[in-house]
Amino acid sequence: MVIITFSLLSLLLLFINPLPISSLNNGLALTPPMGWSTWNVFRCDYSEVDLMEMADILVSSGMLSAGYKYLNIDDCWEASYRDPISGMLKYNETKFPHGMLALSDYIHSKGLLFGIYSSSGERTCQEYPGSWQHEFLDAALFSSWNIDFLKLDCCYQDNIKDRATAYISWSKALSIQNRSIVFSCDTDELILNENNLEFPFQWAPEYCNMARISWDINDEWKSTLSITDRAANIYYASRPGYWNDLDILTVGLGEQTIEEYTSQFSLWAIMSSPLIAGNDLRKMTKEITNILTNEEIIAINQDKLGRSGNMIRRALDGSYEVWAKPIYYENMSLIYDINNTPRFSPLPFHAVVLLNRLNITANITLEFNDLFDHRLSPHPPTPIWTVSIRDLWLHQDLGRFVETWKAINVPVHGVRMVTVLLLNATNPHR
């Protein structure tokens, strides 16, 4: 057996990028955006004082250090009308007596970035002025406020073509500003319309840095599973510059178990979803902090190879799933047989999530051939794989394993999340 080693990222991309899907080329969101949003905690009841407090806590809690750099305000910051002379959006002066630019300056002074909300329709979802036919005017306004992130909803539009057109117009409007603004397309209403035959993930990558791929999330386990099931079918769309958005994290909202929150965070991470937290930072427990700031899990989400994980195995009865994501590794091996012919070209380093969907604990086996399958028909036979495994929640190296590894007693609705590094592949007949 001859082993040839490469350390080229482009070579890795060659093996896992079979679908030439373009993404928005604005130089932003080369890894999934991370931040915090007001919606789950405040809905419409917030002011500049609340946002300044959240900015302070993002820093003091370690969230910023962990990567959560965007502080995003959602709907309800607006006044109830546009300026009658200029046509510009106005902010609510009662909520923001010092103005939006002053708030932006405060957020930036903390080392954070500032995100804002609008809707592509004539009204926002909460009945404030929307951006329909004001895209370029509003983009210039947001740029003047030093905005770094825009979430664009799609309420109050009846025509699907108009909705999609509005996102394209906004993308163009943002591209001509003198400020780099991540474009988050909240496209769930497009998905829900049963007559819509062209889903957002089919067109959004060219115009958006991230786009919703499912309906709004709720703080319940079945909602996590429903979104995960949908994401499994479209993982291929994500890549640097565009990411499938599985929606705001519900971790810490209080209606699920710690195991369920751990599972959600693991799944969002391995699927390369943007990680936008939505919990009350003022009441964040140590357990929730440990989930949201786990550096090893976040590193999988932010991996520079820039791929999304996908489901590689599911039990026939739906009781468990195995998800895998190729991870960048400095040394990639191409292993040749004795005739110097490539037998397989496996990516040697993967993150893996083993998910227990049952209401009882379960043992779940990882078959290494699922990760390193050479995709050749029965000749030659499958190699014997030797790997090393590290548990990312326990922060422990588990050792070397051959052919399979069994996760014992995976909790109810829980996961084991590990990295698997290929060490050796041998011919079983030699």
**DSSP string across 11-45:** HHHHHH--S------SS--SS--EEEESHHHHTT-
Q: Note whether 142 and 98 are same-domain residues.
A: yes
Nearest to residue 247, comparing CAs of 185, 156, 165? Answer: 185
pLDDT for position 341: 44
Which of residues 299 and 337 earns the better pLDDT score? 299
| Confidence grade of residue 417 (pLDDT, cut at 50, 70, 90) | very high
Q: Note whether 367 and 335 are same-domain residues.
A: yes
For 244, the enclosing helix (H) or strand (E) is strand 243-245
What is the chain's length? 430
Whether 217 maps to a domain, the answer reads yes
Domain boundary among the residues 257, 281, 301 is at 301
Q: Note whether 169 and 256 are same-domain residues.
A: yes
Query: Is the sign of the CA dihedral 283, 285, 291, 292 positive or negative?
Result: positive
Residue given tokens 């991470």 in the structure block? 269
Nearest to residue 312, comparing CAs of 274, 249, 361, 270? Answer: 270
Cα separation, 208 vs 256, in Å, equals 31
Whether 99 maps to a domain, the answer reads yes
Average pLDDT for residues 7-23, to the nearest whole number?
A: 44
- CB atoms under 10 Å from CB of 85, counted, come to 6
| Confidence grade of residue 157 (pLDDT, cut at 50, 70, 90) | confident
Average pLDDT for residues 160-179, to the nearest whole number?
A: 88
Residue 397 in 3-state DSSP? strand
pLDDT for position 6: 27
pLDDT for position 16: 39
| Confidence grade of residue 202 (pLDDT, cut at 50, 70, 90) | confident
| Confidence grade of residue 175 (pLDDT, cut at 50, 70, 90) | very high
Number of H helices, E strands in the chain: 14, 19
Whether 27 maps to a domain, the answer reads no
- CB atoms under 10 Å from CB of 408, counted, come to 9
pLDDT tens-place string over residues 206-226: 999 999 998 899 999 999 999
The residues assigned a catalytic role are 153, 216
Nearest to residue 326, comparing CAs of 345, 353, 348? Answer: 348
Average pLDDT for residues 389-395, to the nearest whole number?
A: 99
- CB atoms under 10 Å from CB of 310, counted, come to 18
Q: Note whether 116 and 251 are same-domain residues.
A: yes
Rounded to two decimals, what is the model's pTM? Answer: 0.91
Q: Note whether 218 and 340 are same-domain residues.
A: no
Residue type, 273: S
Q: Is the pLDDT of residue 333 over 70?
A: no
Q: Which residues form the domain of 289? A: 34-301
Q: Is the pLDDT of residue 398 over 90?
A: yes
pLDDT for position 2: 28
pLDDT tens-place string over residues 347-376: 889 999 999 999 999 999 999 999 987 554
Which of residues 16 and 265 earns the better pLDDT score? 265
Query: Is the sign of the CA dihedral 240, 244, 245, 250 positive or negative?
Result: negative
pLDDT for position 21: 61
Cα separation, 40 vs 59, in Å, equals 20
Q: Note whether 290 and 383 are same-domain residues.
A: no
Question: For 97-249, where are the alpha helices, taking DSSP H only?
Answer: 100-109, 135-144, 160-175, 188-192, 200-203, 221-231
Whether 24 maps to a domain, the answer reads no
Q: Note whether 126 and 90 are same-domain residues.
A: yes
Whether 373 maps to a domain, the answer reads yes
| Confidence grade of residue 20 (pLDDT, cut at 50, 70, 90) | very low
Question: Which tokens sit at 417?
Answer: 């999340």
pLDDT for position 47: 98
| Confidence grade of residue 184 (pLDDT, cut at 50, 70, 90) | very high
Cα separation, 47 vs 96, in Å, equals 6
The pLDDT mean for the chain works out to: 89
pLDDT tens-place string over residues 269-324: 999 999 999 999 999 999 999 999 999 999 999 999 999 999 999 999 999 999 99
Q: Is the pLDDT of residue 201 over 70?
A: yes
pLDDT for position 193: 53
Asked if the peptide bond before residue 380 counts as cis, ω within 30 degrees of 0, the response is: yes
| Confidence grade of residue 194 (pLDDT, cut at 50, 70, 90) | very low
Whether 25 maps to a domain, the answer reads no
Domain boundary among the residues 278, 301, 324 is at 301
Q: Is the pLDDT of residue 243 over 50?
A: yes
CATH number, domain of 189, equals 3.20.20.70
Domain boundary among the residues 273, 301, 329 is at 301
Q: Is the pLDDT of residue 54 over 70?
A: yes
Q: Note whether 83 and 113 are same-domain residues.
A: yes
pLDDT for position 108: 99
Output the furthest CA–CA distance in the chain (Å, rounded). Answer: 82
Cα separation, 230 vs 246, in Å, equals 9
pLDDT for position 334: 46
pLDDT tens-place string over residues 89-112: 999 999 999 999 999 999 999 999
Task: Please report how the helices 135-144 and 160-175 are oriented relative to each other, as an axis angle in degrees rounded to 10.
Answer: 40
Whether 124 maps to a domain, the answer reads yes
Q: Is the pLDDT of residue 154 over 80?
A: yes
Residue given tokens 């109810």 in the structure block? 412
Tally of domains within the chain: 2
Q: Is the pLDDT of residue 264 over 50?
A: yes
pLDDT for position 188: 76
Q: Note whether 97 and 224 are same-domain residues.
A: yes
Q: Note whether 64 and 201 are same-domain residues.
A: yes
Whether 169 maps to a domain, the answer reads yes
In terms of Cβ atoms closer than 10 Å to its own Cβ (0-12, 13-18, 19+), residue 25 is exposed
Worst-scoring range by mean pLDDT, 194-208, 236-250, 413-427?
194-208
Asked if the peptide bond before residue 274 counts as cis, ω within 30 degrees of 0, the response is: no
Residue type, 179: R
Q: Note whether 396 and 368 are same-domain residues.
A: yes
CATH number, domain of 355, equals 2.60.40.1180
Q: Note whether 6 and 141 are same-domain residues.
A: no
